[in-house]
Structure 1
């Protein structure tokens, strides 16, 4: 990408992006094109990180291991659902992912956890996510029973209108009272350590990122 184009893209994305300054946007654009590699030069090819490349970043850089959650995070970034994260989705996604306000993070996490997109987190969805994220204990008991109990405890704590599922209002109220509940159904945001390492590295020299 030539300098003029890069500058224009940086200006445009800096204007529309709340949490990064111009230098940071520029670093993240550079990193994006480093990660995408040579694809950029071929005409008619959508330039972006496909699901596997993106999941690899989540896994290697941010320590995520849960396949289902990583898929949901990918969908959260891929706003136009075209199967890859383009440069604009990358910048806007990371803006929230790394530095979003509590409001932004609540909306994002809720969307990640609302697997079928109906505006509620149902018991089935909770069970599905908790089953994935909990370590299997080698015990005699049926592990599903323990997860069912956990779902009930979580509902008791978070389901304020007692309708057996979580609306965004239920979730928001619960998180405002107890911030740890933000990622109640699985880690879908970077932990502070990997966030700091990522930012320290990329906002120093994005070209060195692959050496991490």
Structure 2
């Protein structure tokens, strides 16, 4: 996980310099986290990002620490864009914790919707083969050559060809969110790969 969970007591501190998070009650209602977990996450977030906002460079620096065996820069860029829901160029605590709640505790469909948003790089509502290739390549680069279990059993290109063929049901060259969710839910291999994807959050 990007920001560590630590045992914490007391209420959410609201002494942020540039950005104050929404009320704790509202965040608790929007996420699957308990009040205590939100307080712990907030302390970890604020420790890493005292201003209350994370820009892309800071995000890359933090994220890369978790994958010293590979190059996490490109994947961190895509992940940052998925968390930066309002396209402001920075991630607020709310953005981070709502995304994290989906990834850790959301339903399968919620997780798949989030994954679709990650793969849909230009946010046009479709995934192209090129977009899928860019994400897969970045995951291969990040995981590194010597990671176990190995993600280098086949090349990103072969991986994408196989996935895309299954997902693009009407053969129009793009994958819609409905095609993505339906295919993923029916295919054990794809769901296993989604599990790998969750592990690199």
TM-score norm. by structure 2 comes to 0.69
* SS of equivalent residue, structure 2 residue 49: helix
* Cα root mean square deviation, aligned: 3.3
Structure 1 residue aligned with 2:43: 30
1:188 Cα deviation from its structure 2 partner: 4.6
Partner of residue 83 from structure 2, selected from 70, 77, 96? 77
Structure 2 residue 19 is the aligned partner of structure 1 residue 13: no
* SS of aligned partner of 1:189: helix
Q: Secondary structure at the match of 1:126?
A: helix
- Structure 2: distance between partners of 1:77 and 1:124: 21
For the 8 Å contact 1:109–1:183, the answer to whether it is kept is no
User: Given that residues 11 and 39 in structure 2 are in contact (C-alpha distance below 8 angstroms), is that contact kept between their aligned partners in structure 1?
Assistant: no
Contact 1:55–1:71, Cα closer than 8 Å, also in 2 = yes
- Secondary structure of the 1:169 match is helix
Query: Which residue does the alignment assign to 1:108?
Result: 114
User: Any runs of at least 4 consecutive aligned residues in structure 1 with deviations exceeding 6 A, and if so which?
Assistant: none
State the alpha-carbon separation in 2 of the partners of residues 128 and 48 from structure 1: 27
SS at match of 1:31: helix
From the superposition, tell whether residues 113 and 163 of structure 1 become closer, same or farther in structure 2 (CA, over 3 Å): same
The structure that has the greater radius of gyration is 1
CA deviations over 1:148-193 (Å, ceiling 9, x no partner): 55443323222212222211121111110125425869965335xx
Residue deviations 1:76-103, cap 9 Å, x none? 2112222211121122122113222211
1:120 equivalent in alignment to 2:122 = no
How far apart, CA to CA, are the structure 2 residues paired with 1:73 and 1:183? 20
Task: Output the TM-score relative to the length of structure 1.
Answer: 0.66
1:1-212 maps to which residues of 2 (within 5 A)? Answer: 6=13, 9-17=23-31, 19-37=32-50, 39=51, 47-61=52-66, 65-134=71-140, 148-182=157-191, 188-191=197-200
Contact 1:109 1:182 in 2 (8 A): no
Q: Which has the higher helix share?
A: 1
Gaps of 5+ in 2: 1-9, 15-21, 146-154
Matched residue count: 173
Query: In structure 1, what is the Cα distance between the partners aligned to 2:12 and 2:193?
Result: 42
